[in-house]
């Protein structure tokens, strides 16, 4: 099989879509495209200059060496991947076969050459971290604010700004606070990782196999006359004897777990004995990370086995993805999901990623922080806040009342004594936004393996949601402007006909 060469940079260079072109001198590539195609419409509505400049500002460029990768191809490939919900290889394959996708990426002409190797997506996700993607998202939000769809930050005069005293503390001298504006919907959800369902037996078996690999790496240069025994064949047979049994009792599982703990304990002792033969740790960074992970897994499983429990703090559920944690959701589909937990705020259809954590958290305890994030974005507090029951604690109600924020939720008191009831469908937009992200864009199955690449994956989906929303609004505005221009033309034509019929003097009245 031939070696797979990585093309670290695509051939086409970036060209601003705002560059003027003479009518009739368009390239044949552009003349043969259907303007009603979704990729053509989306490419014409996305602010590529702003996104590319923001990307280069965070990633950085050097004066020496090879030219950087075309930022439009990088951002566009990530957008195509999540809009179509494709894997890395299929995304590159679709780009090399689709004429309209190449136009979306800014290609001057069609080519069958792939833009880059699929493995480069991992480097792209590492480089486009969550901070970079959030910066691109903020740029999109700023453009929507200019369109008048979001509350804009008002510039206060000197009497309404915060000043600092001689100790450096902020003192609010505002006599007339900024009025609350906007309506925000908040909710949290889990983003499951693409991992096998974790069980104690499977996890110990994976840790044992990884410890056997580390022994194979350390022994040749250790200087020991005899290689430490691992009993890997017997351990594998014991594992399969229980794992392949369809009806496993608690006693059978506990016996199998005890055996795997014994095998793993023996291997860890052999690894430490082999490490004593070296003046320094000879393992690579990834190998040493695996050693720390399987050691932690052994300690956690040993504690749960001795105390006969099935939960422990910061429990590791995957050897290859130790950052993943169980998130107890209590949903009918799955009571426990394994991945990260995010919190979003929805303002006029635009999604804000407020928090992303790999540990479970109570979003009701962080409500004041989310409200302050809204104030940092728009310069004022929201006028209305629509949340579910978990946010509606007495402390949160009192805090929102002091900020003059109207809480639209189930009020306190008996249902018969409550006059205003919240309609069940009022929170449909935020629930629908989660459904759109999970069903259409792959938020329900995060395929990245590393922590930072998984965070970039999730933030990219939020970016795609806002880009699609912005493109729809811009398209609506363009259609409205077209209709207004058509009405103006019809009015001009009507005025011309009237001028010919009744004379110029009388037509002046219509022009006025």
The pLDDT of residue 422 is above 50: yes
The pLDDT of residue 474 is above 50: no
Distance between CA 189 and CA 274 in Å, rounded? Answer: 45
CA 295 to chain centre: 31
443 and 345 both lie in a single domain? yes
Is residue 77 situated within a structural domain? yes
Instruction: Indicate which CATH number applies to the domain containing 362.
Output: 3.30.420.10
The pLDDT score that the predictor gives to residue 260 is 96
The pLDDT of residue 9 is above 60: no
Number of domains into which the chain is organized: 3
Where is pLDDT greater, at 28 or 479? 28
The pLDDT of residue 188 is above 90: yes
Helix extents (H) in 379-450: 394-402, 428-440
Cα separations in angstroms, 105 against 10, 29, 45, 110, 441: 11, 13, 13, 11, 19
Asked if residue 239 lies in contact with residue 209, where contact means CB atoms within 8 angstroms, the answer is no
What DSSP assignment string belongs to 194-243?
Answer: S-PPP-HHHHHHHHHHHHHHHHHHHSTTT--SSPPP--HHHHHHHHHHHH
19 and 118 both lie in a single domain? yes
Please identify, among 103, 128, 153, the residue that sits at the C-terminal boundary of a domain.
Answer: 128
Please identify, among 128, 149, 170, the residue that sits at the C-terminal boundary of a domain.
Answer: 128
Average pLDDT on 304-317 reads: 92
Among residues 293, 327, 274, the alpha carbon closest in space to that of 301 is found at 293
Spell 454-479 as b/e; 16+ CB within 10 A means b. bbbbbbbbbbbbbbbbbbebbeeeee
Is residue 483 situated within a structural domain? no
Question: pLDDT above 70 covers what percent of the chain?
Answer: 76
Neighbouring C-alpha atoms within 13 Å toward the C-beta of 107: 27
Please identify, among 128, 151, 171, the residue that sits at the C-terminal boundary of a domain.
Answer: 128
329 and 461 both lie in a single domain? yes
Where is pLDDT greater, at 302 or 477? 302
The pLDDT score that the predictor gives to residue 152 is 59
The pLDDT score that the predictor gives to residue 51 is 83
pTM given for the model: 0.80
103 and 47 both lie in a single domain? yes
298 and 335 both lie in a single domain? no
Is residue 146 situated within a structural domain? no
Is residue 504 situated within a structural domain? no
Average pLDDT on 296-324 reads: 93
51 and 111 both lie in a single domain? yes
Q: Which domain holds residue 439?
A: 325-465
Average pLDDT on 501-510 reads: 41
Which of 57-61, 304-308, 484-488 has the least mean pLDDT?
A: 484-488
Is residue 480 situated within a structural domain? no
The pLDDT score that the predictor gives to residue 149 is 56
Is residue 436 situated within a structural domain? yes
Question: pLDDT above 90 covers what percent of the chain?
Answer: 43
Is residue 509 situated within a structural domain? no
213 and 290 both lie in a single domain? yes
Is residue 248 situated within a structural domain? yes
Cα separations in angstroms, 392 against 259, 329, 352, 387, 411: 49, 18, 21, 8, 8
Q: How confident is the model at residue 262 (pLDDT cuts 50, 70, 90)?
A: very high
Average pLDDT on 461-489 reads: 60
Q: How confident is the model at residue 507 (pLDDT cuts 50, 70, 90)?
A: very low
């Amino acid at each position: 099989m031939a070696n797979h060469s990585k093309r670290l940079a695509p051939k086409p260079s970036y060209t601003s879509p705002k560059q003027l072109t003479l009518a009739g001198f368009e390239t044949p590539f552009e003349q043969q495209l259907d303007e009603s195609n979704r990729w053509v419409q989306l490419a014409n509505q996305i602010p590529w200059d702003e996104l590319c400049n923001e990307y280069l500002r965070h990633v950085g460029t050097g004066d020496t060496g090879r030219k950087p990768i075309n930022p439009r191809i990088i951002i566009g490939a990530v957008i195509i991947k999540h809009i179509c919900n494709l894997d890395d290889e299929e995304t590159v394959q679709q780009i090399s076969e689709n004429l309209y996708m190449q136009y979306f990426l800014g290609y001057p002409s069609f080519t069958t050459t792939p833009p880059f190797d699929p493995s480069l997506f991992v480097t792209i996700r590492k480089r486009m971290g969550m901070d970079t993607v959030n910066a691109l998202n903020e740029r999109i939000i700023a453009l929507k604010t200019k369109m008048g769809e979001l509350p804009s930050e008002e510039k206060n005069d000197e009497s309404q700004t915060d000043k600092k005293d001689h100790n450096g503390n902020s003192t609010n001298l505002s006599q007339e606070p900024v009025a609350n504006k906007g309506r925000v919907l908040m909710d949290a959800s889990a983003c499951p990782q693409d991992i096998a369902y974790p069980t104690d037996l499977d996890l110990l078996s994976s840790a044992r196999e990884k410890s056997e690999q580390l022994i194979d790496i350390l022994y040749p240069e250790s200087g020991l006359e005899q290689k430490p025994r691992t009993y890997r064949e017997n351990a594998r047979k014991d594992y399969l004897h229980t794992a392949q049994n369809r009806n496993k009792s608690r006693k059978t599982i506990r016996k199998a777990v005890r055996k795997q703990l014994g095998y793993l304990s023996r291997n860890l002792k052999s690894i430490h004995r082999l490490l004593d033969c070296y003046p320094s740790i000879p393992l690579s960074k990834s190998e040493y990370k695996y050693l720390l992970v399987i050691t932690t897994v052994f300690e956690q499983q040993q504690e749960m086995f001795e105390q006969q429990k099935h939960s422990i703090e910061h429990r590791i559920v995957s050897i290859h993805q130790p950052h993943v944690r169980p998130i107890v959701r209590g949903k009918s589909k799955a009571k426990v999901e394994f991945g990260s937990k995010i919190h979003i705020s929805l303002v006029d259809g635009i999604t804000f990623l407020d928090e992303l954590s790999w540990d479970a958290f109570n979003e009701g305890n962080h409500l004041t922080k989310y409200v302050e994030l809204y104030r940092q974005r728009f310069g004022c507090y929201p006028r209305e806040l629509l949340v579910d029951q978990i946010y509606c604690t007495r402390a949160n109600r009192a805090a929102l009342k002091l900020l003059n924020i109207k809480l639209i939720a189930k009020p306190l008191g008996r249902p018969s004594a409550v006059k205003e009831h919240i309609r069940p469908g009022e929170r449909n937009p935020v629930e629908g936004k989660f459904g759109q992200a999970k069903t259409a864009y792959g938020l329900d199955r995060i395929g990245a393996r590393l922590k930072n690449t998984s965070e970039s994956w999730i933030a990219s989906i939020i970016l795609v949601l806002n880009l699609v929303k912005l493109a729809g609004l811009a398209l609506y505005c363009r259609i409205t402007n077209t209709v207004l221009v058509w009405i103006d033309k019809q009015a001009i034509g009507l005025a011309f006909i009237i001028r010919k019929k009744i004379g110029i003097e009388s037509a002046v009245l219509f022009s006025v």
